Chains A and B, each alone.
Chain A
Amino acid sequence: DGGITQSPKYLFRKEGQNVTLSCEQNLNHDAMYWYRQDPGQGLRLIYYSQIVNDFQKGDIAEGYSVSREKKESFPLTVTSAQKNPTAFYLCASSIAGVNTIYFGEGSWLTVV
């Protein structure tokens, strides 16, 4: 089945630790994105990548890092520098130049 797979679904992290969220897509999409959703709030763009080995900061990139070594993979690392990391993280992808983006199922990150 074609789609976007995020893992893990639920993740607990101790303060001061880095954690990496995985995102894989088999839709052959060029562009990939990471969004964050906080309870009762909208979606905020963290990072995006329109082509392999290139990525751009979104609105709230501080405390996060990404890589895009393969077209199908766009992992997000939440570093210890992120002040409020507890949130629901959404990965998405799209065909380059096309407005409609498609989302994965999301990953819950809780800092304990």
Chain B
Amino acid sequence: DQQVKQNSPSLSVQEGRISILNCDYTNSMFDYFLWYKKYPAEGPTFLISISSIKDKNEDGRFTVFLNKSAKHLSLHIVPSQPGDSAVYFCAASVAGNMLTFGGGTRLMVKP
């Protein structure tokens, strides 16, 4: 039973445009959400997070939106750059417990 799902295994975007990566979850108890970025053969790096008391968090080119009623979060990257090409994982947790990861979305930003 996948509690965190990333339904798009891949996404291709033109450089300079917006990238939108989506994540759905089923556990309404999740109260903290994170996005990680992973290059091949490297460990994931933390990108941005959001608490369930907020609906938006922004850090430079990266913005995460949380829609609790829809149990959906998204990561927006504007403008997209070729160096953003990587696999992005969303993750969620309940009250500081273990993170549950989605399956990842591979983003390809074309020059």
Contacts and interface: CB of A to CB of B under 8 A. Distances in A.
B34 A103 contact: no
A105 B43 contact: yes
Query: How many residues of A sit at the interface, in one of the four size bands?
Result: 20 to 34
B43 A100 contact: no
Given A40-B9, A41-B103, A99 B96 contact: yes
Contacts, number: 49
A94 to B, nearest CB: 9
Given A42-B103, A42-B104, A43-B89, A103 B45 contact: yes
Contact of B42 (A40, A102, A106): A106
A33 B97 CA distance: 12
Interface in B6-30: 6, 9
Interface residues of B, number: 21
Contacts of A41: 103-104
Contact of B98 (A40, A45, A98, A105): A45
B101 A97 contact: no
Given A97-B96, A98-B96, A106 B9 contact: no
B49 interface: yes
Interface string B25-55: 0000000101010000111111001000000
B93 interface: yes
A43 B96 contact: no
A100 B42 contact: no
Contacts of B89: 42-43
13 contacts: A33-B98, A40-B9, A41-B104, A42-B103, A42-B104, A99-B49, A100-B46, A102-B46, A103-B36, A103-B44, A104-B43, A105-B43, A106-B41
